């Protein structure tokens, strides 16, 4: 989940859900699932949907008007505008398996590939290992169901690519700011799904496969981005060569998520249905709903030999919060990598402390001391009473209630603060740095550091603080991987006997392409494409392996990447860090 977009989407969803319906006869979008299709001809499948609806409406014209999507390639079903009573009537038909209201879900928001053992040597090649053996994912087709794509990014350059694989049956659907030339031999197809979305919501986005949000571009470039040299964040952080895990793979793009709305079930199922027909090898889906939600179309994709990889959600560390937890898909948690961004915090008494930040303003040649103020939890009331204008604010609430970092940033910006030092419990792993991006200088510290800053503030008449720019530290001195605190935990709420998530992959401060640049983002959304890419590589080496075999190869191979035993917050020894190569060796992914 792309963490910074979640708040606004959830708020809009709550407002929608809490609004009273006009009357009992008002129509809403329902998903009607009918299981395996009874005909190989898609037109006959759609005709059966029309016939079924005609028997309910009593009019063929009304039936045709009501249908929004007909799912006819990989499975049988449709999305239609129905009254509650019409939905209740449909569920009585023997060919109908389920009728559910359309719900809206959210997206689950470089060095990581070196950390996984899929790095290049000094000649930008891998002489041995899975990447080399898979020919860098040559001609594997990976479908990305997300917010779309920004095709001009250097990560999607098709220079040196051969013809599009003959088995590809997809299309390049044009639209606003997206012509047929936006697809190439890298982005071999793109579709967008706007039916069932309000006109107002569509106007806030781009009515085409173009990515207005940036999330889908980040995911796609993490999977299959080409090598791009000199990439970094903020002018000096995480610099190096950016690329995806399967840099020679082809991409099929399916835009199902919309700004301010999220990702409706109806559009996601339509994308899955089309992807089955288009001929993808892997489906990467970094989005999801509540802990008990599932997409029935994914089973049909797996039965067609397509591996489906889902993000597990960002509702941790509470148990049984994992989403997309059906047994036949691969569900991914988020973990840290061996890279951190330490920031020096200098107090007026010459004491130096360390936090973490993405603050790296290259336009500033020198950094000076600023007034320091303590504002408890940084609620709106405490900020006003503390007079924080033009000062660096310490947000530290040793006991509940506490605000989220996202809320604290909004309040401190509105109050006119100069910067923010935000205290999080140590168990949070300081793993949501990207929430601060581009808003104001902000540093994350644990409670111990915050207490030392608070003690200085209380004992000093005119407390001041200087926040230095962040640095990049990479290597085995960084204890990793650790499962990120935000990553949803198992077991599966739908199937308690099924252990989920299946595996964890890098999902904290991952650098990849967005609109016109590159950005560090965190979330299980960022972890999911790492596994999608590796499954693509394995598929290239073993084209005859089933989705279950590919999944098994990943989650049953491993080695420990750190000498120290890692414990959970309750001091129970954690599972050994699992890693995979899957064909005869292993590359580090935590499990």
Distance CA 527, CA 335 (A): 8
Q: What is the mean pLDDT of residues 371-394?
A: 89
Determine the pLDDT at residue 345.
Answer: 92
Asked if 150 contacts 515 with a C-beta cutoff of 8 angstroms, the reply is: yes
pLDDT at 159 over 80: yes
The helix/strand/coil state of 518 is: strand
Q: Would you list the domain boundaries of the chain?
A: 14-102, 106-110+123-334+479-546, 342-471
Compute CA distances 402 → 17, 394, 405, 572, whole Å: 27, 13, 9, 27
Distances (CA, A) of 218 to 141, 514, 522: 17, 5, 11
Domain 342-471 listed as CATH 3.40.50.9100: no
pLDDT score recorded for residue 335: 87
The confidence score (pLDDT) of residue 479 equals 62
**Cα–Cα distance measured from residue 218 to residue 223, given in angstroms and rounded to the nearest whole number:** 9
Note the pLDDT of residue 359: 76
CB atoms within 10 A of CB 95: 12
* Strand ranges inside 140-259, DSSP E: 141-146, 187-192, 228-233, 237-242, 250-255
Over the chain, what is the mean pLDDT? 83
Q: At what angle do helices 215-224 and 524-541 cross, to 10 degrees?
A: 30
pLDDT for 566: 44
Amino acid 314: pLDDT: 87
The span from the CA of 209 to the CA of 274, in Å, is: 14
Averaged over 189-202, what is the pLDDT?
Answer: 93
Mean pLDDT over residues 265-291, rounded?
93
- Give long-range contacts, CB 8 A cutoff, 24+ apart: 403-410: 403/377, 403/378, 403/379, 405/432, 405/435, 405/436, 405/444, 406/3, 406/4, 406/7, 406/435, 407/378, 408/377, 408/378, 409/435, 409/436, 409/439, 409/440, 409/442
Arithmetic mean of pLDDT, 114-142: 67
Give 439's pLDDT tier (boundaries 50, 70, 90): low
Does the pLDDT of residue 272 top 60, yes or no? yes
pLDDT category of residue 4 using cuts at 50, 70 and 90: very low
The CATH homologous superfamily of the domain defined by 106-110+123-334+479-546:
Peptidase S8/S53 domain (3.40.50.200)
pLDDT band of 559, cuts 50, 70, 90: low
Superfamily name and number for 14-102: Peptidase S8 propeptide/proteinase inhibitor I9 (3.30.70.80)
Q: Which residue has the tokens 């809206």?
A: 104
| pLDDT digits 0-9 by tens, 20-58 | 333 446 899 999 999 999 999 999 999 999 999 999 999
Residues with catalytic annotation?
Answer: 146, 215, 525
């Amino acid at each position: 989940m792309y963490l910074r977009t979640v708040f606004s989407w959830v708020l809009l969803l709550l407002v929608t859900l809490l609004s009273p319906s006009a009357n009992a006869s008002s129509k809403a979008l329902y998903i009607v699932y009918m299981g395996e299709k009874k005909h190989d001809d898609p037109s006959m499948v759609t005709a059966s949907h029309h016939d079924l609806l005609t028997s309910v409406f009593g009019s063929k014209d009304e039936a045709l008007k009501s249908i929004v999507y007909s799912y006819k390639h990989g499975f049988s079903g449709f999305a239609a505008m129905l009254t509650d009573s019409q939905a209740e009537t449909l569920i009585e038909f023997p060919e109908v398996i389920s009728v559910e209201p359309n719900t809206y879900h959210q997206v689950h928001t470089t060095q990581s590939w070196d950390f996984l053992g899929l790095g290049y040597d000094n000649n930008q090649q891998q002489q041995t290992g899975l990447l080399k053996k898979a020919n860098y994912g040559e001609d594997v087709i990976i479908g990305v169901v997300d917010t779309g794509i920004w095709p001009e990014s250097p990560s999607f350059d098709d220079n040196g690519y051969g013809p599009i694989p003959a088995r590809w049956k997809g299309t390049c659907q044009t639209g606003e700011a997206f012509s047929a030339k936006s697809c190439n031999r890298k982005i071999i197809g793109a579709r967008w799904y706007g039916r069932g979305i309000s006109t107002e919501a569509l106007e806030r986005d781009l009515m085409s496969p173009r990515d207005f949000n940036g999330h889908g571009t980040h995911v796609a470039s993490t999977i299959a981005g080409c090598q791009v040299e000199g990439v970094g964040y903020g002018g000096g952080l995480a610099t190096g060569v950016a690329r995806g895990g399967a840099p020679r793979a082809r991409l099929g793009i399916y835009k199902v998520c919309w700004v301010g709305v999220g990702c409706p079930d109806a559009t996601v199922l339509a994308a899955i249905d089309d992807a089955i027909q288009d001929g993808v090898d892997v489906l990467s889906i970094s989005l999801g709903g509540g802990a008990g939600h599932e997409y029935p179309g994914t089973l049909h994709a797996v039965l067609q030999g397509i591996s489906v990889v889902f993000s597990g959600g960002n509702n941790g560390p509470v148990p049984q919060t994992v989403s997309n937890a059906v047994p036949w898909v691969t569900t991914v948690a988020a973990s840290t990598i061996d890279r951190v961004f330490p920031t020096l915090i200098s107090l007026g008494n010459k004491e130096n402390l360390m936090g973490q930040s993405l603050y790296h303003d290259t336009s500033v040649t020198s950094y000076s001391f600023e007034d320091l103020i303590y504002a408890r939890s940084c609620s709106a009331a405490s900020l006003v009473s503390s007079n924080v204008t033009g000062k660096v604010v310490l947000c530290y609430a040793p006991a509940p209630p506490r605000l989220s970092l996202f809320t604290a940033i909004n309040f401190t910006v509105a109050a006119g603060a100069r910067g923010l030092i935000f205290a999080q419990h140590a168990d949070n792993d300081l793993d949501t740095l990207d929430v601060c991006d581009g808003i104001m200088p902000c540093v994350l510290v644990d409670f111990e550091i915050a207490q030392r800053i608070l003690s200085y503030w209380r004992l000093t008449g005119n407390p001041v603080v200087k926040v230095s720019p962040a640095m990049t530290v990479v290597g085995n001195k960084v204890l990793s991987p650790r499962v990120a605190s935000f990553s949803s935990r198992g077991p599966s709420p739908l199937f308690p006997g099924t252990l989920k998530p299946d595996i964890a992959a890098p999902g904290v401060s991952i650098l990849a392409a967005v609109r016109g640049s590159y950005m560090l983002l965190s979330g299980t959304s960022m972890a999911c494409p790492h596994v999608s890419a590796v499954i693509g590589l394995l598929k290239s080496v073993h084209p005859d392996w089933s989705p279950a075999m590919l999944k098994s190869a990943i989650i049953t191979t491993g080695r420990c990447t750190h000498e120290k035993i890692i414990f959970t917050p309750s001091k129970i020894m954690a599972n050994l860090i699992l890693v995979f190569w899957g064909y005869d060796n292993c590359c580090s992914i935590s499990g």
